[in-house]
Structure 1
Amino acid sequence: MNHHATKTGTMTSKGQVLIPKALRDAAGLAPGQPYKVELDENGHVLVAPLDVTLDVEQRLAAQAMALESIEGRYVFGASTDRVMRDLRGDYQP
């Protein structure tokens, strides 16, 4: 499995973006938790919880495990609603 999987989405008119649940879990992002947003030297936006204690290798391993946990769960023809419910977890807009 590719440890640097790319996900795409569309930013809302309010500047909001959805981070898939597996990636939020791997990064340690939880509802109500403070986070930081940085722009690195390559122009990439980085989002991380403020209390990050894992080193880069540990974070990459955690992200890979989270992505592997959803690998193969979605088959062609799955409804968008089902996929979004799974990605968002218990989130209710």
Structure 2
Amino acid sequence: MRIRRHFTLAAGLLAMVLPALAVTNEEIAKMRQAMPDKPVVQPERPRRMLVFSLCKGFNHSSIPYWAKALDIMAEKTGAFAVEHSTDMSVFTP
């Protein structure tokens, strides 16, 4: 019974906090407007960027913002492709 109570409390807290961490459509529109439409220098070959954002403990509220900003920059400029991961195995050969 005690575990159920803790689980319910944790789920309730997450339900309140997670929407606050989401990037709003208005913020996305501002990011799109601020991003360049083309790269300063066109890459000679396709580039890939790994965005690794695993948090164990404190999860900074800026993470969704910079992740979205990189997605928008990649989309608008075509200079690179973004791959997001929170899986440590991406670093194993």
Q: Radius of gyration: which is bigger?
A: 2
Q: Which has the higher contact order (CA 8 A, sep 6+)?
A: 2
* TM-score normalised to structure 2 length: 0.25
Question: Which structure has more helix as a fraction of its residues?
Answer: 2
* TM-score normalised to structure 1 length: 0.25
